[in-house]
Structure 1
């Protein structure tokens, strides 16, 4: 099933843009119209760390018209092993601002909004409602559940990724679809007391690159209307042996977050 899902109108590409994005345009599944939808799109990225780094780099290079990056953390020397959007001379700088500097240099023709504070529930709701797609690139369950609730309320697609140690996961939630599950259907809020960031466990550097790049791919598919989003399918990667597994899942009719949407 193919979805043409961006809510933004398309824009006309000038000659420079046609050249810059020509390798996308040469793809029959994308073409000029698909690239125009990408360039008109707005992606909200929650987290500018290990996952947000490659995801934002690929979205910026692909020409997503507006990127909004939210992260209240600051660049630390220990981040540089995997958070490739940051540089050593930006240690101590807010991660959203650091990412903006890198992305603006990569593609000066897009709009990049950096939000370096922790968004309140009301602010998060507004940010999500203004986006065409949301990428959850954070590292804690509390934020993931807050983002999920905002996406369900605003009916905005959510691309979810996670990576810790040598294990990664990837899936997509689309609350515009009547039978679509949400993050809470797959991962309940029980057990959050033991939730810890990857700094506690360690993480294999290329793993976040693989998952973050895959998140960007899913977001671009959603924005352009190309291909089949990863709905109802959880991809699991074990990087030590580079093995992928897939688990299918369905909406929980009793879900306290999305259940009422279908009542």
Structure 2
């Protein structure tokens, strides 16, 4: 049961019929791995800790640089040259004592994936390079852990949910079968605006919360399914255009010959 303090603190969430006390308990008991504590990982970790997620693992081997500060909103100039995961974990632990925040102050590799994924309920990919994205996608499929992917460059962003527990769920490799076909642009080559990252991070956090409280639904062609905004839809790539302020949704299909998730 929730304590009286928790009931008061999270009252605006608990009063929602699709959350309730059971949903808040699910958030408290959840263990989530966030890969990348940059422009996406900063707001994602803030939102999830604020929502009452019980355990967050933050993985990032990079140190904070001056050019990070306009979009990585947890950091200040006093944090420059310090590890991103360490700094974020320290600040989140101080601000959100209900949550346990653990820093993984190195880049995620196969060994770390195999160690942490069996311990978590959900992974959020907030990384900024394609090889890490392939690694996380493969590891989540292998360990049958849901994955919420986010990416943004310039004025554009994308978001995708992969749920290997569902046999119909496509994976990131279905969308981009090889690194040659995957988008090569990143923030270092074409730039980025902080609010675009905040929008994509907000969507990632929302999808994560819905997955944790168990309110998910497989995407299909029926109007009824597509009109359920409170449900997580797999096989749907969400693209955001910050110049026109428009979202587009594209339906993906699981590729039977995918070398990662195909059978």
- Residue 110 of structure 2, aligned match among 103, 111, 121: 121
Say how many residue pairs are matched: 249
SS at match of 1:215: helix
Q: Is 1:220 matched up with 2:209?
A: yes
Distance in 2 of aligned mates of 1:202 and 1:163: 10
- Residue 9 of structure 2, aligned match among 15, 20, 23: 20
For 1:182, the equivalent position in structure 2 comes to 171
Q: Is 1:259 matched up with 2:262?
A: yes
- Residue 190 of structure 2, aligned match among 194, 197, 201: 201
CA deviation vs aligned residue, 1:7-46 (integer Å, no higher than 9, x gap)? xxxxx21111111111100101100000000010011000
Which aligned pairs between 1:2-21 and structure 2 lie closer than 5 A? 12-21=1-10
TM-score by length of 2: 0.91
For 2:223, the equivalent position in structure 1 comes to none
User: Which structure has the higher relative contact order (CA within 8 Å, separation 6+)?
Assistant: 1
Does the 8 Å CA contact 1:173/1:183 hold for their aligned counterparts? yes
SS at match of 1:259: coil
SS at match of 2:169: coil
Does the 8 Å CA contact 1:235/1:245 hold for their aligned counterparts? yes
Distance in 2 of aligned mates of 1:100 and 1:126: 19
SS at match of 2:158: strand
- Residue 68 of structure 2, aligned match among 70, 75, 79: 79
For 1:236, the equivalent position in structure 2 comes to 239
Q: Is 1:100 matched up with 2:103?
A: no
CA drift of 1:195 comes to: 3.0
CA drift of 1:258 comes to: 0.6
Distance in 2 of aligned mates of 1:77 and 1:30: 39
Does the 8 Å CA contact 2:109/2:135 hold for their aligned counterparts? no
Q: Is 1:57 matched up with 2:53?
A: no
Distance in 2 of aligned mates of 1:117 and 1:141: 17
Using a 3 Å threshold, how does the CA distance of structure 1 residues 251 and 194 change in structure 2: closer, same or farther?
closer
CA drift of 1:98 comes to: 1.2
Structure 1 residue ranges without an equivalent (≥5): 1-11
CA drift of 1:197 comes to: 3.6
Does the 8 Å CA contact 1:141/1:192 hold for their aligned counterparts? no
Distance in 2 of aligned mates of 1:43 and 1:14: 22
For 2:251, the equivalent position in structure 1 comes to 248
SS at match of 2:103: strand
Distance in 1 of aligned mates of 2:41 and 2:175: 22
Q: CA RMSD in A?
A: 1.4
SS at match of 2:81: coil
CA deviation vs aligned residue, 1:60-103 (integer Å, no higher than 9, x gap)? 00010000000000111110110112122111110001111221
Structure 2 residue ranges without an equivalent (≥5): 216-229
Distance in 2 of aligned mates of 1:154 and 1:175: 8
Q: Is 1:47 matched up with 2:36?
A: yes
TM-score by length of 1: 0.91
For 1:9, the equivalent position in structure 2 comes to none
Which aligned pairs between 1:110-189 and structure 2 lie closer than 5 A? 110-189=99-178
Distance in 2 of aligned mates of 1:52 and 1:190: 23
Query: Higher mean Cα deviation, 188-197 or 51-60?
Result: 188-197
